[in-house]
Amino acid sequence: MPLTKEEQIELAWAEHHATYNRPAGNLTIAMRWRLAEQQNWRCCWCGIRMEGAGFALDAPTFEHIVPRSKGGTDELDNIAVACRRCNEERGSGE
């Protein structure tokens, strides 16, 4: 059975933090869900509709607008939802 959008965003968040070994910060599940909904499940960079799950290139991931390596924070105003392809292409901004 396909994952619901809520399950996809939770999986993307868990994968992001497992990959980068970071705590989830102060964003609750509801906040992450609202952020994805506000973006209409579209990537903040390329605009593709994010319908994938897991490691699919169109799966939703959480993106720091200003990378942490450049002083960005985990605050909600510095987080956007991006497709895995754009997030990986952007890298850490270094």
Tens-digit pLDDT profile for residues 51-87: 877 788 888 888 888 888 888 887 777 888 888 899 8
* Residue range 5-90 in CATH 1.10.30: yes
Q: Do residues 39 and 66 touch, judged by C-beta distance below 8 A?
A: no
Structure tokens that stand for 67 in this block: 């990378």
Structure tokens that stand for 6 in this block: 């809520």
Provide the mean pLDDT of the chain: 77
State the pLDDT confidence band at 47, using cuts at 50, 70 and 90.
very high
Query: Which of the two residues, 70 and 90, has the higher pLDDT score?
Result: 70
The predicted pLDDT at position 48 comes to 92
Domain locations in the chain?
Answer: 5-90
Q: Do residues 61 and 84 touch, judged by C-beta distance below 8 A?
A: yes
